[in-house]
Structure 1
Amino acid sequence: MQVNTNESRLPCDPPSNRRRDASGARVEKWVTGYVGVGDQAPHGKNATGNSVRLRDIQKIGTWNIRGLLEPGKLDTLEREVTRCGLSICGLSETHWRNNGHFLTESHAIYFSSNDDKSQNGVAILVPKQQRHCVLGYEPVNDRIISIKLKASPMNLNLIQVFAPTSTSSAETNEQFYADLQTVIAKIPNRELLLILGDFNSKIGANSQQYSDCVGKFGLGTRNERGERLMQFANENNLIIIDYILVKSRWRTSILNAHTLPGACCGSDHELLITKLRLKLRAARSPTKQKRLEVVDTEKFATVFEQGWAEWTDINQSEATPDLLWNKAKQLIQSAVAESKPPVEMRKRQHWMSDSTLALVEERRHKKAQGVHVNELNKLSATIQTNCRRDYNSHLQGICKEVEKHATKHESRDLYHKIRVITKSLPSKTWAIEND
């Protein structure tokens, strides 16, 4: 099989047959995505099908969530991301270990963390219905992760970062920007690039030296980290918009960037959101008409016979071909629409109880009202206690069902419940090449 080398791919792109040279010292061959090969885009060989439409408004956010090891915090975070209507959300300080991806009820999560310590860590949340748009992702280290999505009219590249704090050494900070520079160099100039995350820096108000990459309405006094960030942006022709970095050629595509103080997941940082839309002149393409499909033939015939009485009301002397055609088309379309079976919407049960969700909403409202931080901390502690209790009861219920299925030799239901507990993805289906 020949691989097209003209198209640029990420090192963790599933169709690529190269060795993984960007995920540490390990040099394993990409195969089927079992343990040890956890940085491939899920489900499928290529990102075919729907793509992200960049001409529509896309809400992209980034959030320092200060750890996701507490029970129920990830579910609370996903609810906030869904409530705020975010298309994609980058996360900093996940405190997870290793790197890879997994699926939840509503999102596909791609993460990169430290292998030995539960510190730092970055991740990117993609809605579950858009996971097929992921062309590939690269977990660089516990501070940088990049992901490429299939989008129209061009691919979208996102880099989520968590920069070293002011207490870190200068060598650590320089190594961070060197790794970030290496990731940017792999992205083609014709593709859209956004750099999100927590840069742990202060730009300040006086930025005359770097007026091309930052505006004049900064706050506070610039520190050394802010000076290094502006220097990095100036060298790579990037524009800083509320700590979101974008190429200068795409600066008009950023409609606005702002924080949401009302969003709450138990972190003392605010959610930063940017609205993105490419202002390009779209090429006109002929619209494709959907083909009408009759599901229930008997019901379609009944509805069609009932609507046939309208033809007797038409005056034959005044009837024109256009009038007859519109009447016939409307009759057929209405009969097809009424003959379709109703779509059943089933609400998925969640392990968090209603009382715990009510406490989460109460904490969010109190944070928006400006309640003191001590009261919010007490409420967060109560939420954590309730989440542990609810999750334990949820696992106990699943274990009882597993025992029942094992007793009755119901292997399909048994392994389904086991996958629910372990949250493991199905094996990949693309072919294994022989060296």
Structure 2
Amino acid sequence: MNCLINHLHELPVGINERLMTIRLMLASSQMATVISAYAPTLDAQDEVKEAFYADLDKILSEVPKEDKLILLGDFNARVGRNHHLWRGTLGREGVGNTNSNGILLLTKCSEHNLVITNTVFRQKNKFKTSWMHPRSKLWHLIDYVIVRSKDRRDVLNTRAMTSADDCWTDHRLIHSIMSIRLMRKRRMQKRQSRPKFKHRLFG
């Protein structure tokens, strides 16, 4: 994470206890907005959930269109596997069933043309799931790395780190590798190649 310091263009902005944003300089005049989220749990009051997604909607709407957008965090939501219903938002490699929090997240991602990258890559379920229910002892996916659908190819892989089971959190860390494609300013003389900005993110 220390290498990110050189790319800080603005200080992090704490929206509230559940949402924070930071903008990173990727190249000259080209930026990435990273949104860190901690959504209400399944048993939270509907008013609390509505307030969270209203705040998230406002943030997403205000991110400059030219920015790369990375939304990550603990959404306390199960998005399931119905990629036919949520085409473009949910990949073919989801796990488990959808719950009501999952519908809220999927709806918001669909409204803003976002894709949940955890569900895109074929891998064993242990690399998809991030949290074990304390009573059922079943593993679920509730922590996500989300990007704009048009930037799906920037993400090389998103997976859970099973080796991090015994650290201070009861969640597996989510590891996402990205090779971010940037567009140079167009020149009339000749077409420019697209440079890449490669980085790893941990959710």
Normalising to structure 2: TM-score of the pair? 0.72
1:184 is aligned to 60
1:145 is aligned to 20
Quick check: 1:130 aligned with 2:43? no
Deviation at 1:128, TM superposition (A): 7.1
Deviation beyond 3 Å, 4+ runs, structure 1: 279-284
1:133–1:151 Cα contact (<8 Å) kept: no
Q: Deviations over 1:144-171 (max 9, x none)?
A: 0000111216211100000000110111
DSSP-derived class of the 1:233 partner: helix
Match of 1:205 among 50, 56, 81: 81
Match of 1:260 among 158, 161, 186: 161
1:248 is aligned to 149
Determine the C-alpha separation between the residues in 2 that align with 1:129 and 1:231: 31
Deviation at 1:279, TM superposition (A): 3.4
Aligned identity (percent) is 30
1:137–1:148 Cα contact (<8 Å) kept: yes
Deviation at 1:271, TM superposition (A): 0.7
Match of 2:179 among 265, 277, 280: 277
User: What amino acid is aligned across from residue 254 of structure 1 in structure 2?
Assistant: V
Greater fraction strand:
2
Q: Deviations over 1:253-276 (max 9, x none)?
A: 001101111124222210101111
Relative distance call for 1:168 and 1:255 in structure 2 (3 A) is same
DSSP-derived class of the 2:110 partner: helix
Quick check: 1:194 aligned with 2:95? no
Relative distance call for 1:159 and 1:281 in structure 2 (3 A) is closer
User: What amino acid is aligned across from residue 26 of structure 2 in structure 1?
Assistant: A
Q: Can you give the 5+ residue segments of structure 2 that lack an aligned partner in the other structure?
A: 119-143, 185-191, 194-203
Deviation at 1:206, TM superposition (A): 2.1
Correspondence list, 1:10-409, <5 A:
87=1, 127=2, 130=5, 133-152=8-27, 154-242=30-118, 243-263=144-164, 264-280=166-182, 283=192
1:136–1:149 Cα contact (<8 Å) kept: no
User: What amino acid is aligned across from residue 183 of structure 1 in structure 2?
Assistant: I
- How many residues were matched structurally? 159
Relative distance call for 1:128 and 1:251 in structure 2 (3 A) is closer
Q: Deviations over 1:158-185 (max 9, x none)?
A: 0000000011011111110100111122
Q: Can you give the 5+ residue segments of structure 1 that lack an aligned partner in the other structure?
A: 1-86, 88-126, 285-435
Normalising to structure 1: TM-score of the pair? 0.35
Determine the C-alpha separation between the residues in 2 that align with 1:138 and 1:207: 33
2:81–2:90 Cα contact (<8 Å) kept: no
Relative distance call for 1:160 and 1:206 in structure 2 (3 A) is same
Relative distance call for 1:128 and 1:246 in structure 2 (3 A) is closer
DSSP-derived class of the 2:147 partner: strand
Relative distance call for 1:178 and 1:221 in structure 2 (3 A) is same
Deviation at 1:216, TM superposition (A): 2.4
Relative distance call for 1:167 and 1:281 in structure 2 (3 A) is closer
User: What amino acid is aligned across from residue 240 of structure 1 in structure 2?
Assistant: I
Greater fraction helix:
1
Determine the C-alpha separation between the residues in 2 that align with 1:169 and 1:128: 40
Deviation at 1:208, TM superposition (A): 1.8
User: What amino acid is aligned across from residue 259 of structure 1 in structure 2?
Assistant: A
Is the radius of gyration larger for structure 1 or structure 2? Answer: 1
Determine the C-alpha separation between the residues in 2 that align with 1:202 and 1:180: 18
Determine the C-alpha separation between the residues in 2 that align with 1:246 and 1:167: 27
Q: Deviations over 1:108-151 (max 9, x none)?
A: xxxxxxxxxxxxxxxxxxx2772562323211000000001112
Q: State the superposition RMSD in angstroms.
A: 2.0
Relative distance call for 1:223 and 1:134 in structure 2 (3 A) is same
